[in-house]
Every structure is written in C-alpha cells, then in structure tokens.
Amino acid sequence: MNATNNEAPERSEIEGLLPWHAAGTLSRRDAQRVEEALARDPELARRYALAREELAETIHLNETLGAPSARAMEALFAKIDAEPARRQATSSDFGGRFSDFLANLSPRTLAWSASAAALAILLQAGLIADFALKQNAPGGYETASAPSTAPGVGAFTLIRFAPQASFDDINKFLQANKLSIVAGPVPGGLYKVRVAASALPKAELGDIVKKLGQDKVVGFIVTAE
C-alpha cells in the first residue's frame, strides 16, 4: 500500500480495515480500534465516508443484476434426479439429530406437549421457510424493483402445510407428488409450489389441487398463477 507508506503505520493499518468496518464484518476488537481512530482523525473519517459510498453503490449495482430464471433450478434438480439414489443418512450433528427426533414424532405425540409442538413448528419454519424471511426482510438487500426469484414457467399452487406436519411428512409428500417449492412463505405461511413443469388447463389444475388437499400434510391449498 504505497500511497499510505508515508503515513503512520497504525493509521495505514486502520485505513486498510475501513472497507470491512463499513461492511460490519470486523471483530469487536478491531471495530473498536477503528471507531476510536475515526473519532480522533477527521481525515480518516472522510476516507471512511468514501468506503461507505463504495459499499452502498456495490450493493446497488449487485441488486440490479436480477435473478436467474427457473431454468437453473430445473436443470439442477433434473441432474439431481439423475444421480444415484442416496440412503437417508442419520445426521451426526446436534441439529440433524434434533430434526430426526422431531421428524419421527407422530402428530398425536406432538399434541401431548405444547412445547414439542411449538418446536416442531419452529423447526418447520426454520428449515423450510426462513430463507424467504431472510431474503425479504426490510433490512436485507432485496429491492422493490428486483425481479422475483419465483420461476414463472409451470403450473403452481399455494400451500400452507398443516402445523402438525413434520419435516419428513412434508418431504415425503413433495417427493411422492413430484412437487417443488419455488417460493415462500408469503404472509400467511403460504408456499408457492410447482405441480407441473408446464401450464395446465384450469380444470386439470383444479383436480390436482383437490387431490393434494386431501393429504393430511396440507392445511390449505389453492391454485396460483
């Protein structure tokens, strides 16, 4: 960093950290060092403002890049389906074991314990749903103008899964009916689920919705555009 060689080594080092400080990815200790330096050094503070401008415009630039089409997801799962089947392994980590434990509980067992039911719902929300909450959170980077990531090709339904449905129940339901979640949850806990790779006549889609709605995993289902 030649341009800063004639400056105090500590200032040069702190200046090198400014981009990470702007992004909020420094350790607490380093962040405090930077904060202290910024408070006593107006020129450093001015340069920090430059880093913050760069941060804002880099986010802006990336957010205007849009999102991939449904083709990417379709290509991926076509390749996955072509892969040799894998045995469902028992997870060795705590999260996996906990998930397996909850997955093996029957709805009746869950009904015995309010806390267990709450955990099951939390697990379902956490494992299946929080990606959308993260992506659409007001504090996130998604802009109102960014294209939706929801693929537009195919026939779709909106499903809210039954609260007592376990992770495994939902997994089996999706696999058995060759369904894939493409977006969600939207407010109300609804997921957009693709039921066919191409558009279907209204009556045919209605029949599918009726059939799927009979599964105990489904709490609510309607057709979607």
Partner 1 sequence: MQTTSDEALIARIAGGDRLAMQVLFARHHVRVYRFVLRLVRNQATAEDLISEVFLDIWRQAGKFEGRSAVTTWMLSIARFKALSALRRRQEDELDDEMAERIEDQADDPETALAKKDKGTVLRQCLTGLSAEHREVIDLVYYHEKSVEEVAEIVGIPEATVKTRMFYARKKLSELLKERGVERGWP
Query: Rule CB under 8 A: which residues touch partner 1?
Result: 1, 3-4, 16-17, 19-20, 22-26, 46-47, 50-51, 53-62, 65, 67-69, 71-73, 75-77, 79-80, 83, 85-93, 95-96, 99, 126-128, 130-132, 134-135, 141, 149, 167, 170-171, 174-175, 180-183
Minimal distance in Å, beta carbon 201 to partner 1?
Answer: 26
Minimal distance in Å, beta carbon 89 to partner 1?
Answer: 4
Residue nearer to partner 1 on the CB measure, 111 or 122: 122
Q: Is the bond preceding residue 185 a cis peptide, omega within 30 degrees? A: yes
> 4 to each of 21, 23, 205, how far by Cα in Å?
18, 22, 66
145: enclosing H helix or E strand: none
Q: Quick one: DSSP state of residue 222?
A: E
Question: Are residues 22 and 15 in contact, defined by beta-carbon separation less than 8 angstroms?
Answer: no
**Entry field: residues in the chain:** 225
Minimal distance in Å, beta carbon 202 to partner 1?
Answer: 26
Residue nearer to partner 1 on the CB measure, 79 or 108: 79
Q: What DSSP string runs through 153-219?
A: SSEEEEEEE-TT--HHHHHHHHHHTT-EEEEEEETTTEEEEEEESS---HHHHHHHHHHHHTSTTEE
Residue nearer to partner 1 on the CB measure, 25 or 210: 25
Tokens of 27: 């350790």
Minimal distance in Å, beta carbon 175 to partner 1?
Answer: 6
42 vs 180: CA distance, rounded Å: 54
Residue nearer to partner 1 on the CB measure, 16 or 206: 16
Residue nearer to partner 1 on the CB measure, 66 or 206: 66
Minimal distance in Å, beta carbon 86 to partner 1?
Answer: 3
Of 1, 35, 40, 8, nearest to 20 (Cα)?
35
Minimal distance in Å, beta carbon 96 to partner 1?
Answer: 4
Tokens of 7: 């400056």
Residue nearer to partner 1 on the CB measure, 156 or 167: 167
